[in-house]
Structures are given as structure tokens and as C-alpha cells.
């Protein structure tokens, strides 16, 4: 019975701690390709520490600063700013998540940490003739609206040329067929005429 009560108390303490962290956690919204600055709230409570370490989802190390020396962990587009704030450049939706700032205290001191949530919107790439209609869209620099305007004209011109080509081909085909038929009929007539002349001369 005593073990059951102890387990219940531990579970309640863990839930309360998790809820306390979730309620006190700040959240930052950002757009695709922005430069985001995540503050380290732990520096407001702890002034002396051996090093600072930033994590993503508490497990993935990002950057470490110790005695003025920096160590990057597979995150190249990051740096530390004022009061150990984490600066992320050219952020993407995959950068969304929970970040932790960890301060390792000096000997005899107490470590401290703070959490912050980041949410990055999806990247939009829309090419349009009227970019003012989409103020929130990111339009690529290589977009060519003039090409889109001429698409219908080129299609009509292409269909017209194709139709004219078919008409010319039909006229040529009919002319060739007429000549072949005329030549064949003339040859048959000549053959018949020659046979008639041969037979009549044989009777005479």
C-alpha cells in the first residue's frame, strides 16, 4: 500500500513539473527563411556558469560555448548573441520544435535551464502575374510573368500553323493522287488503243 502511494506521489510530481514547464514556456512564431532569435531565460537567474549549451528537443545538441570557444553540432547556420541567445538563420519548417538553453554552473553552484518553443510556417513559392494579390507569398526571382501572358497567343499561333500545314498536305496529296489516277487511266487507254489497232490491222 505504501509503495502504491509513493508511486502515485511521484506520478503527480512528474505531471505537475511537466505542466509547470509547459505553462511557463514561451513560444515564438516565425516565417520561412527568417532570422530567429531565441532568448535564454536562464541567464536572467544565473549569472555565473562554466558553459552554455543549446539543445533541440532536449537531446539534439546544437551549439556549446565554453570560455569563449564555440563548438557546433551539425548546425552551421546558428550562433550565440547577447545573453547567450540562440540565433537561427534561414529557418525552415523542420526547425520547429522545443529548444533548451542549459547553463552548467561552477563547482558548488546549481545548474539552470530554460525552454522555448519555435514554430515556423510552411514555405510558399507562388509565381503569378499579379504579385500584389498574394502579399504573404514568396515569389521566386526567376519568375517570368511575360511568358505566362504570351502562352495563349503562342498556342493559337501553333494551332493555326498546324492547321495550315494539314491543309497544304491535303492539297498536295489530292494533287498527287489525281496525277497518279490520270496517268494510270491514260496508260490504260493507250494500251487499249494499241491493242485495238493491232487487231484491226491483223484482220485486214
For residue 28, the model assigns a pLDDT of 94
* Domain that residue 29 falls in: 25-133
For residue 114, the model assigns a pLDDT of 95
Co-location of 113 and 169 in the same domain: no
For residue 84, the model assigns a pLDDT of 95
- Digit-coded pLDDT (tens) for 25-45: 889 999 999 999 999 999 999
For residue 181, the model assigns a pLDDT of 82
68 part of a folded domain: yes
100 part of a folded domain: yes
What CATH number is associated with residue 75? 2.60.40.10
Number of domains in the chain: 2
4 part of a folded domain: no
Co-location of 58 and 124 in the same domain: yes
For residue 184, the model assigns a pLDDT of 82
Co-location of 108 and 181 in the same domain: no
User: Rounded to an integer, what distance in angstroms lies between the CA atom of residue 89 and that of residue 57?
Assistant: 19
pTM for the model = 0.51
2 part of a folded domain: no
Q: Where are the alpha helices (DSSP H) in the chain?
A: 2-24, 145-149, 151-203
Give the residue from 127, 122, 100 showing the smallest Cα distance to 39: 100
Give the DSSP H/E element, type plus range, for residue 120.
strand 112-120
- Digit-coded pLDDT (tens) for 162-193: 778 878 887 888 777 778 787 887 787 777 77
Evaluate whether 24 touches 42 at the Cβ level (below 8 Å): no
For residue 79, the model assigns a pLDDT of 95
User: Rounded to an integer, what distance in angstroms lies between the CA atom of residue 45 and that of residue 82?
Assistant: 15
Distance in Å from the first CA to the final CA of the chain: 143
For residue 52, the model assigns a pLDDT of 96
Q: Which of 67, 101, 133 is the last residue of a domain?
A: 133
Q: How far is CA 147 from CA 125, 160, 195, in A?
A: 18, 20, 70
* Region of 30 on the Ramachandran plot (φ > 0 left; ψ -120 to 50 alpha; else beta): beta
Co-location of 90 and 40 in the same domain: yes
Which residues does 146 contact at the CB level (< 8 Å), separation at least 6? none
Largest CA distance in the chain: 145
Evaluate whether 138 touches 125 at the Cβ level (below 8 Å): yes
For residue 98, the model assigns a pLDDT of 96
Evaluate whether 30 touches 90 at the Cβ level (below 8 Å): no
Residue ranges for the chain with pLDDT beneath 70: 1-24, 126-156, 195-204
67 part of a folded domain: yes
For residue 22, the model assigns a pLDDT of 43
For residue 113, the model assigns a pLDDT of 95
Amino acid at each position: 500500500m505504501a509503495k502504491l502511494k509513493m508511486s502515485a506521489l511521484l506520478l503527480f510530481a512528474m505531471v505537475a513539473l511537466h505542466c509547470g514547464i509547459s505553462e511557463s514556456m514561451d513560444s515564438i512564431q516565425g516565417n520561412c527563411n527568417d532570422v530567429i532569435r531565441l532568448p535564454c531565460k536562464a541567464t536572467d537567474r544565473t549569472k555565473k556558469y562554466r558553459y552554455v549549451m543549446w539543445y533541440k528537443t532536449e537531446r539534439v545538441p546544437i551549439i556549446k560555448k565554453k570560455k569563449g570557444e564555440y563548438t557546433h553540432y551539425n548546425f552551421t547556420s546558428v550562433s550565440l548573441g547577447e545573453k547567450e541567445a540562440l540565433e537561427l538563420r534561414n529557418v525552415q519548417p523542420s526547425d520547429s520544435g522545443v529548444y533548451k538553453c542549459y547553463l552548467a554552473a561552477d563547482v558548488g553552484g546549481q545548474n539552470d535551464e530554460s525552454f522555448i518553443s519555435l514554430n515556423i510556417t510552411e514555405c510558399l513559392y507562388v509565381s503569378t502575374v499579379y504579385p500584389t494579390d498574394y502579399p504573404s507569398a514568396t515569389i521566386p526571382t526567376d519568375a517570368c510573368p511575360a511568358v505566362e501572358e504570351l502562352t495563349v497567343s503562342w498556342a493559337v499561333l501553333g494551332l493555326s500553323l498546324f492547321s495550315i500545314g494539314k491543309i497544304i498536305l491535303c492539297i498536295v496529296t489530292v494533287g498527287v493522287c489525281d496525277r497518279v489516277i490520270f496517268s494510270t487511266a491514260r496508260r490504260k487507254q493507250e494500251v487499249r488503243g494499241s491493242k485495238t489497232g493491232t487487231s484491226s490491222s491483223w484482220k485486214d
